[in-house]
Structure 1
């Protein structure tokens, strides 16, 4: 009996050891498979980055061949530069309105601050004969930083406000900035700041705007960007999980104002003269329409909507008095047929495009079979 019990015990121990070895092997296999999947996705990301870089370069050369680069009065080149500037305006406003969920109607004020600051410094730097691209980068960064300081101050003064109250405060800020500039003689007053160096070319505008959008996209996909998105989804839940709302809101307002200031610098060096009446309430609404049309929270949508509406403005130049009527019709149609905008909260990705193409093919194949 004792021998039989010992034999049973040894068999149980051996079977438990075998089971333990089998479980450990399975765990290792699952870990290895997960690690392989992770490496696979990393390879896909590298491919996406390379494809995006090549697409940016190819797109640049394709656009460059559509106009004469030696012609300073090229109409096509002027349209492209305007589109790029308004793309940066739209994407910068999308940070606060779309991604952070805070209604900001004072974006024209930040653009004015960045534009006037950069233009004022640019007129001083003319005597040093710097290369145009270097001078444009220096003054654009300066204009962006000055606008970011005001964005930080506006964000700090509206931390406890949201919704309509926040919209009223930001609207008031934009109007205050406009009337302050009108009464500053060293900025040209009501007549405007003139003789601004026209430093823009298609090449430097294109790469400044593209780099700015890449930085915004990277910032919004970082940990800080996820905190910004959490505020849009639910402020109470975000605060309960330990996110410091005040700090994140200040970050969002400052980042949005910084890139609006860079856009204002490009705008100033494109037109050559700045007048305060350009940066009124309607200018902020015009940019807001682009964000809403593209989809609140979609950087791709903001870009596409800015291109569409800038081209539409150019087509309506002869009947400019009906421009806002067309805007109203577009918005009403959008709210009826696609309330979330063109892209909604989604972004254009290569993986998503492949999936859509595959769905279309599967749908066509199923239809043919039936």
Structure 2
């Protein structure tokens, strides 16, 4: 609590008219009382004082778990799909905007999960692929007039090429050296976008990007319309997110996914067992970059403007935090991590100045009590020492 006060007082006690202690101490005293109460309850729980309530609760929880396990998977997925499709119809514009941001970061998080969670390669410059996809669609739309749907696979292909270019020099590196090199490549891409005036228009960015189009039945005939509302953009990114989830799931449960796991667990042993570690690591970079490029193309289509300021290191750190917080290698975990890091600050918006402070505290508590993530990945099979 003393450490908390050291952090809290500069936020509330340093003002233009001078130093003040009353406001920060009043807030800190409330937090101290709440922390003392929680600590006392925790100590009583550890001593078994609340056993009369926890035992029935555990029994009810076990019964509910058995009941939910009997629900078929197809029914769960159908209910989830129905909720996702009905979300824009039951919410307002602000919720649509937040949901679109969450889905974009889900695509980015799942793409980085292929590199970090499955293959075990720490990548601190992943946002570079996001920028490559965004600028690819921006240039194709402004200079060549290509539609969003035709540019989407091209943006993914260019991002995959960028992944191979970035990944090839790092194939023989591990640990901290790998992280530093990927961080450097991410900054190189941002600086190139910022200084190549003839192609990217430098820091001024690119304007006039066309939104996605679609053919719709209107006035008794099929007409082409431009998607402009947030509801329409929501369904586009929802489709991309679903395709990303399915693709990452199939990769994880394929022979390539098993090779990724072997490289992650022990690269030397995997190479001795016949796994082409250099090719597998390069493939991990390329596959992860594809999903980042697709998300970048959607970002450019939605904003209709791109600039280098949107692809900074802090974005890479945010996406990496989603993967680590949710659970490396876990698809549901990455989705929960994106919800926690994008939607949770919006829930705390009513705290105004304390919003990010509370958000950081909640994240710290989560990582203390769930060090492997909110939804850790399940190992397929078991090791011999685990059976013993």
Counterpart-to-counterpart distance in 1, 2:144 and 2:237: 19
Determine the C-alpha separation between the residues in 2 that align with 1:343 and 1:293: 9
User: TM-score by structure 2 length?
Assistant: 0.69
Out of 201, 218, 222, the residue aligned to residue 188 of structure 1 is 201
Per mean C-alpha deviation after superposition, the further-off stretch among 234-243 and 329-338 is 329-338
**2:255 alignment partner in structure 1:** 223
> Are the counterparts in 2 of residues 119 and 139 from structure 1 also a CA contact under 8 Å?
no
1:239-297 residue CA offsets vs partner (Å, 9 max, x unmatched):
12111100110110100001111011111112222121221111110111111110111
Secondary structure of the equivalent of 1:239? Answer: helix
Task: Go from structure 1 to structure 2 and tell me whether the alpha carbon gap of 1:291 and 1:325 turns closer, same or farther (over 3 Å shift).
Answer: farther
Task: Name the CA shift for 1:247/1:339 in 2 (closer, same or farther; >3 Å).
Answer: same
Query: Which deviates further from its counterpart, 175-184 or 307-316?
Result: 307-316
Q: State the distance in 2 between where 1:219 and 1:228 align.
A: 9
Instruction: Tell me the TM-score normalized by structure 1.
Output: 0.72
- Which of 105, 115, 119 matches 1:96? 115
Q: Is the 8 A contact 1:112 1:264 kept in 2?
A: yes
- The 1:232–1:275 alpha-carbon spacing in structure 2 relative to 1, beyond 3 Å, is same
In structure 2, the partner of 1:197 is 210
2:286 aligns to what? 254
CA distance in 1 between partners of 2:89 and 2:354 (Å): 33
| Structure-2 change in CA distance of 1:221 and 1:284 (3 Å) | same
Q: Greater helix percent: which structure? A: 1
Q: Which residue pairs with 1:77 in the alignment?
A: 96
Once residues 316 and 261 of structure 1 are traced to their aligned partners in structure 2, the CA distance between those partners, rounded to angstroms, is: 31
Alpha carbons of structure 1 residues 159 and 325: separation in structure 2 relative to 1, 3 Å: farther
Structure 1: 5+ residue stretches without partners: 1-46, 69-73, 129-134, 348-370
What's the CA shift string for 1:178-232, capped at 9, x where partnerless?
A: 1100112231211212222233622222112101210111011111111011111
- Tell me the secondary structure at the aligned position of residue 65 of structure 1: helix
Does 2:152 align with 1:140? yes
CA contact (8 A) 1:94 1:291 kept: yes
Deviation at 1:81, TM superposition (A): 1.3
Partner Cα separation in structure 1 for residue 268 and residue 333 of structure 2: 28
Question: Residues 266 and 305 of structure 1: is their aligned pair in 2 closer, same or farther, counting only changes over 3 Å?
Answer: same
How far 1:328 moved relative to its partner? Answer: 4.7
Equivalent pairs counted in the alignment come to: 289
Aligned to 2:172: 160
Q: Is the 8 A contact 1:188 1:194 kept in 2?
A: no
**Structure-to-structure mapping, 1:26-175, within 5 angstroms:** 48=73, 50-51=74-75, 54-67=78-91, 74-124=93-143, 126=145, 135-175=147-187
Could you report, residue by residue, the CA deviation over 1:300-344 in whole angstroms, capped at 9, with x for unpaired residues?
A: 100111012111243466889877655653453334222111112
Question: In structure 1, how many angstroms separate the alpha carbons of the residues matched to 2:242 and 2:343?
Answer: 19
Q: Distance in 1 between matches of 2:95 and 2:196?
A: 36
C-alpha contact 2:345 2:356 (8 A) present in aligned 1: no
Structure 2 Cα separation of the partners of residues 66 and 143 of structure 1: 33
Normalized per residue, the structure richer in strand is 2
Partner Cα distance (2:290, 2:179) in 1: 19
Distance of 1:291 and 1:343 partners within structure 2 = 10
Deviations 1:23-68 (A, max 9, x none): xxxxxxxxxxxxxxxxxxxxxxxx64x4465345313332132147
Contact 2:126 / 2:316 at 8 angstroms: preserved in 1? yes
- d(CA) in 2 for partners of 1:67, 1:175: 38
